[in-house]
Amino acid sequence: MITIQEAKTKKELTEYIKFPFTLYKDNEFWVPPLIADELEAFDKTKNPAFENAEAYFYIAYKDGKIAGRVTAIINWAEVNDQQKRKVRFGWFDVINDIEVTKALLEKVYELGRKNNLEYVEGPMGFSNLDKVGVLTEGFDQLGTMITWYNHPYYATHFEQLGYVVEKEYIESKFPFSNVKPEFFQKASEVIKKRYELTPLNFTSTKEVMPYADKMFDLFNESYAKLSSFVAISETQKAYFKKKYIGFINPEYIKFIEDKDKNIIAFGIVMPSFSKALQKAKGKLFPFGIFHLLSARKNSKDMIFYLIGIHPEYQNKAVTAVIFNEYYNTFKEKGVEYCFRTPELSDNHAIHNIWKHFDPKVHCRRKTFRKDL
């Protein structure tokens, strides 16, 4: 017998968060989240995503044991401003039982129909800065802290329930030894001189903070044309500054200024925390924090999280300037591997800027859609 229960209390939400720890126990490729971070993300009083979104957290039980979970989400900015009448689902995990999957997704359909929405899409989070997509290739690859891992049968369940692919994302990697500076060093000098640009490098978080709001504004401008993009609000800016900027190595944050001191491009790279998170097992204390701090200082794997370029400077080779700055930093730090986060498979412009590094696609993921 399958029953569905909404998780509302801290105890229930903790059970919701901990389910994948059981589902992926002893899986060497799954990267666990920090339980406290997940609880904060689901807290309507703390996460500013709930300014524009509503979400409901459901746990499935089969024969008295937890068998799956899902979050049903409506991003009202997406529905009202973009006229995309969509109900989202995310944080989806399930045992290999399609009846459990069906029962969980029925709760998502209920929310969509209740609000006269037209279709469902997922897995995806509250907004563009959350995790996205179900893994369809790369099950033998170590996950990252900004992607979901899942068993191969997830996509099969969606297909059997009548879902179709909505978007495909790719993740790629390349060894730092593939990076040949001759492809961008000369171009970097030419571009800086032609457009009167100045790279900004940092050694402390204190130096970064005065530029953070400008960076988020530029993020909104540079990503505005992407599918399902929802702009970051002022409250979210303050939240992300407080929560994340201080934890990112300042030397891995790069800004490019024009002659009028406007930020026209930025890059954010993070060291890989995957192995540290596996050792932490969902908890910062007593020892998890030390594993994370060690990774922050010593990891030789780097994840390109975000690159943003003002629309007026796109297609003007400004990425050569960004790459040159990262090359100098990575060489000094002894970086060995570079990873790219999920990018839309049809975003050929972004793929093209990496071509000289000969990246290899190691993971693919998709979101699935079904009309209500």
36 vs 128, 271, 275, 344, CA distance in Å?
21, 21, 18, 30
Mean pLDDT confidence for 230-240: 86
* CA 23 centroid distance within chain: 22
Euclidean distance between CA atoms 151 and 275, whole angstroms = 19
Q: How confident is the model over 303-356, as pLDDT tens digits?
A: 999 899 999 999 899 999 999 999 999 999 999 999 999 999 998 888 888 988
pLDDT category at 159 given cuts 50, 70, 90 is very high
Domains along the sequence of the chain with CATH: 2-170 (3.40.630.30), 175-363 (3.40.630.30)
Q: How confident is the model over 12-40, as pLDDT tens digits?
A: 999 999 999 999 999 999 999 999 999 99
Pairing of strands 86-94, 253-257: unpaired
Report residue 312 as tokens: 């007026």
Q: How confident is the model over 48-100, as pLDDT tens digits?
A: 999 999 999 999 999 999 999 999 999 999 999 889 999 999 999 999 999 99
For 40-64, give one letter per residue: b (16+ CB within 10 A) or e. Answer: ebbeeeebbbeebbebbbbbbbbee
Euclidean distance between CA atoms 123 and 367, whole angstroms = 6
Report residue 83 as tokens: 């006229």
pLDDT category at 161 given cuts 50, 70, 90 is very high
Which residues have CB under 8 Å from 214's CB, separation 6+?
262, 263
Which residues have CB under 8 Å from 285's CB, separation 6+?
none
pLDDT category at 227 given cuts 50, 70, 90 is low
C-alpha triplet 308, 142, 103: angle, nearest 5°: 90
User: According to the model, what pLDDT value does residue 243 have?
Assistant: 83
CA nearest neighbour of 280 among 290, 270, 271, 267:
290
